[in-house]
Amino acid sequence: MSGIRRHRAHLGRPELRSGRHPLHLAARILAAIGVLAAVTLVRPPAADAQGPIVTGGGSSFVSLLVSQWRADVAKPPYNLKINYTSAGSGFGRDKFISGALDFGQSDIQFLPEEVDRLNGTARKGFVYVPVAAGAVAFMFNVNGSNGKRITDLKLTPDAACKIFTVPDIKWNDPSIAATNPGVGLPDRKIRPVVRSDRSGTSYVMSEFCIQRAPAVWNAFKGFIGSGNYGQDQYLGAGQPISQWPNNYGSVSQAFASDGIANVVGNASTGADTITYIETGYTKVKGLPAASVQNAVGVFTPPLPANSTIALGFAKPRPNGTFELAYDGRDPRAYFPSTYSYAIAQTAGFDPAKGRTMAEYLYYAVCKGQERAEPLLYSRLSSVLVDLALNAASQIPGAPARPTSCAAPPPPKLEIAAPGAGAGAAGGAAGGGAVGAAGAAGGVDAVVAGETAVAGAGAAEAAGAAEAAGAANAEDAALAEELAAGAAGASGASSGTAIGASGSAGPENSDVLFTFLMGAALVAIGLFAAKGGRAAVARR
């Protein structure tokens, strides 16, 4: 493979739910219906669209990109009808197995028990098509002790994992205060917001904690194992989880990315909240994201270039997915970062639908990748694009695959030697080490510059990090934008479009309609949830 590496995704886990009060359950169902309706009540494609309707669903990590792609391909010259339900990776895998969807979308591969189910169906022949990559950001909404919004937050892996696992942890906890001197962290409880659905980002978050903060995760495993918190049965086995526990401390849940974004971005009730979510929602909601310390000691923001570098450390599986690593020693890398895959049938599928689906996937991994970085996803490299096109071309009815997509080359990694971390961290202060634009997928000359970096002292490593950050003015501007609370929208609570610049988000009115309808319907669900809790309290 001439020095090329590819990257993986990860396994998800089914949930074991705990018993809950009927009113609580009904309220959560209403909230879920609100989100589901939002993603399915998008105005129909253009009247001149031709061919069958193809239905997909699953991962909400890719929802911003998929919304844009659907809007793009509904117009000439494509005229494709693609419906998509953003309801979590577990939903995508389940409904693909049952045949309720034409294609699933998941950030994680099928579980062993899911493969057993799948093998008993006509869909046992399938492919994973990598379509998206990007960072999982820690988006937060908190005012400091001076009453002003905090926009610059630095988290170690331990601190990030404690926030979502330690009951009633406060913003000024020593593990957070140590890396944020002078920030004025308040003496108030953090209100973590986690996914209520079986989520690929929950899996990535837990896998990140297992690898980078094992003591924190083991303590969480012991605590959750002592009670009934709706936990995924794989938590006790020490494996990553798709279903996050609930009903402990000040943690709350919401359905899919829209749901958690609406909770954190709510102007009246979102105070002191934080969540894990795709970076694009920081622009949707006008909120900042934390910089996270990588294995070299650098605090990097969740920008496309940084997740590109991080995914350069993942390794390929034979089935076309990738196993993530979270300890890559490139000072520019941001962890956690992940991939997302479309799951498509390769035999026994309607060729007419297959043609539409393949054309959509060809667009997504070729022309559609031009949409990735403006929405704060990483762009797929030529290695991943080639893998995706080969997979999509196996769908029954697929037209001949494009011969080229003008995809960028794989990223070049710079491996910092042990001991160079302190200098690199200094050079990257404030998220400076964002690296060259590059692309996620495959690594060309994996140890490019390794000899130079390994032989350099701390000062030289710091200089390299600074030079890498200065090499890309666009990423530097994005870093500043994230720190400023997404284009200076310090008072924003819900957002309307993605970003302030003309190229930073979907232009199609269908996408805007989706977000507005989603916000309204989720608000109805949350209102019902509050009403249910109030009714219980009055009894």
Residue 35 has pLDDT above 90, yes or no: no
pLDDT, average across residues 234-258: 93
User: What's the rounded Cα separation, in Å, for the pair 204 and 199?
Assistant: 9
Q: State mean pLDDT over 321-350.
A: 97
Q: Which of 11-15, 96-100, 331-335, 482-486 has the lowest mean pLDDT?
A: 11-15
Confirm if 139 and 274 have CB atoms less than 8 A apart: yes
Backbone angles phi, psi at 192, to 5 degrees: -70, 140
Q: Give me the pLDDT at residue 234, please.
A: 84
Instruction: Give how far Cα 431 sits from Cα of 359, 482, 530, Å.
Output: 38, 10, 39
Confidence band, pLDDT 50/70/90 cuts, at residue 428: very low
pTM to 2 decimal places: 0.77
Q: Are 170 and 159 in contact (CB under 8 A)?
A: no
In this predicted structure, what is the pLDDT of residue 420? 66
Spatial neighbors of 303 by CB under 8 A, at least 6 apart, are 135, 279, 334, 376, 431, 434, 475, 478, 479, 482
Instruction: Please provide the average confidence, as pLDDT, over all residues in the chain.
Output: 78
Give the count of domains, the chain. 1
**Residue 50 pLDDT:** 66
pLDDT at 255 exceeding the cut of 50: yes
Q: What is the pLDDT of residues 85-125, one digit of tens each?
A: 999 999 999 999 999 999 999 999 998 889 999 999 999 99
pLDDT on residue 438: 58
Q: Phi/psi of residue 10, each to 5°?
A: -150, 165
pLDDT of 240 > 50? The answer is: yes
Average pLDDT over residues 344-354: 97
For the chain, what's the residue count? 539
% pLDDT > 90, the chain: 63
- Tell me if 267 is assigned to some domain: yes
Dist CA 138 CA 325 (whole Å): 19
Q: Between 293 and 509, where is the model more confident?
A: 293
The answer to the question of residue 4 being in a domain is: no
Looking at mean pLDDT, say which of 30-44, 149-163, 522-536 comes out highest.
149-163
Q: Residue 247: inside a domain, yes or no?
A: yes
Decide: 106 and 61 in contact? Cβ < 8 Å: no
User: 1 in a domain, yes or no?
Assistant: no
- Predicted local distance difference test score (pLDDT) of residue 51: 85
Out of 210-214, 311-315, 445-449, which region has the weakest mean confidence (pLDDT)? 445-449
**Mean per-residue pLDDT for 203-218?**
98
- Residue 14: φ, ψ to 5°: -75, 160
5 in any annotated domain: no
Quick check: is 3 in a domain?
Answer: no
- In which domain, by residue range, is 520 found? 10-538
CATH code where residue 532 lies: 3.40.190.290
Average pLDDT over residues 329-343: 98
Q: What is the pLDDT of residue 443?
A: 55
